[in-house]
Amino acid sequence: MQSRRRILYTEDDADTRELIRFVFTRRGFEIVCAESGAEALALAKVEPFDLFLVDNWMPELTGVELTRHIRAFNQITPILFYSGAAHHQDKQAALNAGAQGYLTKPAAIDDLIAETERLLKQST
């Protein structure tokens, strides 16, 4: 059994959340979903995760703001953005806040899984 496969996925769009949950679960990941940055932050403070998968444009806290808050108490767990924010400055802001990866929606599911696996492997 593989370890380090528990992911917190933060996405405000319910359809996208369920699609990603379905795909990742089928690939052997445990996915915990949050529909807002504030909900994700509360979960990140009290539960262990192996990776944070984050949308950028969300109510309450953007993905960049969420990343900054997480990095205030957790500098180790990788953060991967999966966002429709496609401008270079969006990606750069996420990386500057502490993310290790950034994929623009709609990325191929295989690319999303591969980047997730890469970051998980890199963090061990």
Which two three-digit tokens encode residue 37?
């940055």
Predicted confidence band at 1 (pLDDT cuts at 50, 70, 90)? very low
- Asked if residue 99 lies in contact with residue 54, where contact means CB atoms within 8 angstroms, the answer is yes
Tokens of 56: 């950028």
**CA within 13 Å, CB half, 113:** 13
Are the CB atoms for 70 and 24 separated by under 8 Å?
no
Segment 74-110, tens digit of pLDDT: 999 999 999 988 889 999 999 999 999 999 988 899 9
Q: Give percent of the chain with pLDDT exceeding 70.
A: 97
Task: Write the DSSP symbol of residue 55.
Answer: -
Edge to edge, what strands does the sheet with 30-34 contain? 30-34, 6-10, 51-54, 79-83, 101-104
Question: pLDDT at position 3, please?
Answer: 56
Count Cβ atoms within 10 A of the Cβ of residue 44 and give its class: 0-12 exposed, 13-18 middle, 19 or more buried.
Answer: buried
How is domain 10-109 classified at the CATH fold level?
Rossmann fold (3.40.50)
The tens digit of pLDDT for each residue in 9-30 reads 999 999 999 999 999 999 999 9
Q: What count of other Cβ atoms lies within 10 Å of the Cβ of residue 42?
A: 12
Strand pairing category for 30-34 and 51-54 = unpaired
